[in-house]
Chain A
Amino acid sequence: MLVSVYRYNPETDDAPYMQDIHIDIPGGKDIMVLDLLQLLKEKDPSMTFRRSCREGVCGSDGMNMNGKNGLACITALSQVVEKDKLVLRPLPGLPVIRDLVVDMTQFYKQYEKVKPFLINDTPPPAIERLQTPEDRAELDGLYECILCACCSTACPSFWWNPDKFIGPSGLLQAYRFLADTRDTARDERLSELDDPFSVFRCHGIMNCVNVCPKGLNPTKAIGKIRNMLLQRAT
């Protein structure tokens, strides 16, 4: 099969380029894209990409495979290869450090903005802050996010305003704490979000939902934040 990989080494290359590599998959097996990259790296050790858990848990190997963002370690060739060809690019919209590795600073800055930790200024109880099973269930579909950035880098609004729009991933986390009954900073959190960019740059295109490897729904969470803002203001 033919693999076309985005290559860029700022120390030696003037500009990024696509490198075409023909490779035969041993035994013709249906391997994961990450395994394929490993094969490519054996041939050419300069091939650079991130990975850690290789089982869809750590979120380090988000990349663009034949035009769609996803985690290379849990995406089988059979899911993405078209006409025996696979195009691999780094996540779109973020600065490239080298080959498939992007600089995630902007993404983490947005994450930091939503204060992704529990705030509770009441005195802590002796053992722990309890929640009813129903209240706990509110966090399902939110806490599972692994911050892989597949969603935010698929979102046009994040491409145009990565410094002002929090992006689907950060907003999913913002809602994760807004929805937590143990958190007492709901009002302050909402005040931080009530500007024309942070939340309201979302135009409901749902690219984020389309790519999330964990099957989460940032658009729905964003809608809930919007309703909270609306309820608070009316």
Chain B
Amino acid sequence: MVTSITSFGRSGLYDWMMQRVTAVVLMAYTLFMIGYLLFSSDLSYASWSSLFQNTAMRIFTLLAILSLVAHAWIGLWSVSTDYIKKTSIRFAFQSVCGLLAFIYVVWGIQILWGV
């Protein structure tokens, strides 16, 4: 069996499943957002901020952020193992992606609970 220590779940099946599950979450979040923007009667700062005061909305958003990060990691990992042949450059690229993902999660949480 081919081994690989940098992939998301280290199992092809797990990564594949995660990619699909996170895609569904992102789809649901996107549809919700589009629906909200199209159909909410009053689009103001007050209504927008009260939407994000709601704990359920915060949980949903955090779930979407985590899904986005996992989805992006699995996707970019695939791209990097396809196209970047030199191990050192590939590892550097993956490290930058990992660091960015981490920063976005922390930043996202800060924004979410800051409103």
Contacts and interface: CB of A to CB of B under 8 A. Distances in A.
Interface of A: 156-157, 160-161, 164, 191-201, 226, 229-230, 233
A201 B15 CA distance: 11
A161 B15 CA distance: 18
Nearest to A230: B13
A198 B82 contact: no
B43 to A, nearest CB: 39
B87 interface: no
Contacts of A200: 12-13, 15-16
Contacts, number: 51
Interface residues of B, number: 16
A194 B3 CA distance: 10
A196 B15 contact: yes
Secondary structure class of chain B's binding surface, majority of residues: helix
B102 to A, nearest CB: 21
A156 B82 CA distance: 9
Contacts of B16: 200, 226
Contacts of A201: 78
B4 A197 contact: yes
A76 B13 CA distance: 42
A233 B13 contact: yes
